[in-house]
């Protein structure tokens, strides 16, 4: 069910929510958190709301989308409420502010927060330089940004590193979760040798590639080379060098990658690019600070600046074939 409330107030929105819950049988107690989406009124905002609705099937929540319109003209609040199947497993409230009210979005949101429940704030596009001190960020236990959605991702990561506070995270980090899991599992097998060098290759415009290189540099304490492929290609390959042989994960265009370990046949694994809703659901799984992300952001990226960080384009290393085995 979708209800539009043009030129309204937060009190009217709250009363309408209560009435809708009584009509459709929604149970407020099933909501485990409040997710605030902060964006401008664009198509990207609609995509973010849709992704949040999908993620809410794993994490029932109240979604509040705070969309800022033009600052010119009189102050006005337009609202839209979705409950039931139109909002996934959530209650979705879209608040469109206009005029002077654009600068006071936090006062609009506060009356609609679920009582005694965690708050997660998400900026799907541009975000304040310091999200933890922003009006919305101060009321949130977790603050989610996305460095891939800004014009200069590397500068954005540096800004996030300079202003990091526990509870901050970024979807560029979430997108490499599967890669990190595969590499950790590979290193958790014999011969348990130290990694002497690593190479990470991916798109020149991908902050996920920078974070992967920073994570390896901080975790393995070894030189990491950051090679560059064409824009838009994402993370394409990771090589870990050990004395007994290399560990290679290579993902050509598509969703199927190859993984090669010394003494083992080359394996084909599904490693497609993660959808926005999947990444958001991952971040809603945890409400505690992500210490590994913090170390990668604040220390790992700095290690790259002091090691052999390559700026020239490199080709992804091919998986090593073995006699009698088809590397494809």
d(Cα 184, Cα 298) in Å, to the nearest integer? 21
List, in order, residues 6 or more apart from 9 with CB less than 8 Å away. 77
Q: Are residues 126 and 229 in the same domain?
A: no
In a domain, 161, yes or no: no
Handedness of CA 282, 283, 287, 291 (dihedral sign): positive
d(Cα 247, Cα 96) in Å, to the nearest integer? 50
- Is a pLDDT exceeding 90 seen at residue 212? yes
Burial of 178 (0-12, 13-18, 19+ CB in 10 A): middle
Beta 119-122 vs 33-40: how paired, if at all?
parallel
Q: Considering just the CA atoms, what is the radius of gyration of the chain in Å?
A: 22
Q: Average pLDDT, whole number, for the chain?
A: 89
Last residue of a domain, one of 145, 160, 188: 145
d(Cα 65, Cα 42) in Å, to the nearest integer? 12
Q: Are residues 294 and 183 in the same domain?
A: yes
In a domain, 132, yes or no: yes
Q: Are residues 51 and 102 in the same domain?
A: yes
Q: Are residues 8 and 139 in the same domain?
A: yes
Q: Are residues 87 and 11 in the same domain?
A: yes
Q: Are residues 6 and 141 in the same domain?
A: yes
pLDDT at 88: 64
Q: Are residues 46 and 100 in the same domain?
A: yes
Q: Are residues 197 and 109 in the same domain?
A: no
- Is a pLDDT exceeding 60 seen at residue 60? yes
What pTM did the predictor assign? 0.89
The token duo for 107 is 């006062």
Count of residues in the chain: 328
pLDDT at 326: 30
Q: Are residues 141 and 201 in the same domain?
A: no
The Cα-based distances of 65 to 13, 68, 167, 248 in angstroms read: 13, 10, 20, 42
d(Cα 294, Cα 313) in Å, to the nearest integer? 28
In a domain, 244, yes or no: yes
d(Cα 24, Cα 294) in Å, to the nearest integer? 43
pLDDT at 73: 87
Q: Are residues 192 and 245 in the same domain?
A: yes
Give the burial string for 124-133 (b: 16+ CB within 10 Å, else e).
Answer: beebbebbbe
In a domain, 219, yes or no: yes
pLDDT at 156: 97
Q: Are residues 6 and 136 in the same domain?
A: yes
pLDDT at 312: 35
DSSP state of 313: B
Q: How many domains does the chain have?
A: 2
How many Å from the N-terminal Cα to the C-terminal Cα in the chain? 49
Average pLDDT estimate for 177-188:
96
In a domain, 160, yes or no: no
Contact predicate 73/101, CB 8 Å: no
- Is a pLDDT exceeding 50 seen at residue 186? yes
Domain that holds residue 122: 2-145
- Is a pLDDT exceeding 70 seen at residue 87? no
pLDDT at 328: 26
- Is a pLDDT exceeding 50 seen at residue 141? yes
Of 293 and 24, the structure prediction assigns the larger pLDDT to 293
The CATH number of residue 60's host domain is: 3.40.50
Contact predicate 148/44, CB 8 Å: no
The Cα-based distances of 5 to 21, 43, 66, 87, 191 in angstroms read: 16, 21, 15, 17, 64
The Cα-based distances of 163 to 2, 125, 131, 149 in angstroms read: 39, 18, 8, 18
Contact predicate 301/216, CB 8 Å: no
Q: Are residues 178 and 80 in the same domain?
A: no
The Cα-based distances of 237 to 136, 183, 204, 229 in angstroms read: 37, 11, 13, 10
pLDDT at 25: 58
The token duo for 155 is 């500068």
> Roughly what angle, to the nearest 10 degrees, separates helices 177-187 and 207-220?
30
d(Cα 65, Cα 60) in Å, to the nearest integer? 15
Contact predicate 159/194, CB 8 Å: no
In a domain, 99, yes or no: yes
Beta 197-203 vs 235-242: how paired, if at all?
antiparallel
In a domain, 190, yes or no: yes
Average pLDDT estimate for 297-318:
63
In a domain, 318, yes or no: no
């Amino acid at each position: 069910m979708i209800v539009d409330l043009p030129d309204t107030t937060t009190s009217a929105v709250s009363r309408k929510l209560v009435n809708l819950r009584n009509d459709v049988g929604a149970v407020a107690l099933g909501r485990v958190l409040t997710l605030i989406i902060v964006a401008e009124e664009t198509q990207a905002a609609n995509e973010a709301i849709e992704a949040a609705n999908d993620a809410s099937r794993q994490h029932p929540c109240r979604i509040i989308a705070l969309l800022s319109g033009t600052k010119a003209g009189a102050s006005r609040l337009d609202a839209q409420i979705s409950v039931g199947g139109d909002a996934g497993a959530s209650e979705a409230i879209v608040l469109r502010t206009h005029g002077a009210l654009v600068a006071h979005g936090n006062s609009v949101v506060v009356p609609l927060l679920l009582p005694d429940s965690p708050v997660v704030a998400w900026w799907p596009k541009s975000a304040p330089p310091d999200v933890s001190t922003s009006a919305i960020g101060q009321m949130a236990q977790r603050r989610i940004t996305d460095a891939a959605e800004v014009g200069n991702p590397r500068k954005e990561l540096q800004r996030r590193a300079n202003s990091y506070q526990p509870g901050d995270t970024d979807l560029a980090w979430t997108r490499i979760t599967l890669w990190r899991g595969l590499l950790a599992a590979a290193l958790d097998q014999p011969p348990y040798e130290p990694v002497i060098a690593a190479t990470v290759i991916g798109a020149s415009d991908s902050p996920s590639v920078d974070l992967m290189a920073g994570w390896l540099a901080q975790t393995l304490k070894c030189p990491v080379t950051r090679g560059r492929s064409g824009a838009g290609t994402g993370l394409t390959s990771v090589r870990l060098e050990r004395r007994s042989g290399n560990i290679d994960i290579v993902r050509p265009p598509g969703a199927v990658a190859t993984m090669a370990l010394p003494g083992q046949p080359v394996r084909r694994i599904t490693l497609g690019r993660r959808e926005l809703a999947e990444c958001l659901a991952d971040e809603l799984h945890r409400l505690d600070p992500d210490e590994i992300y913090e170390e990668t952001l604040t220390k790992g990226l700095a290690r790259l600046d002091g090691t052999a960080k390559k700026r020239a384009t490199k080709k992804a290393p091919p998986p090593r074939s073995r006699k009698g085995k088809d590397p494809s």
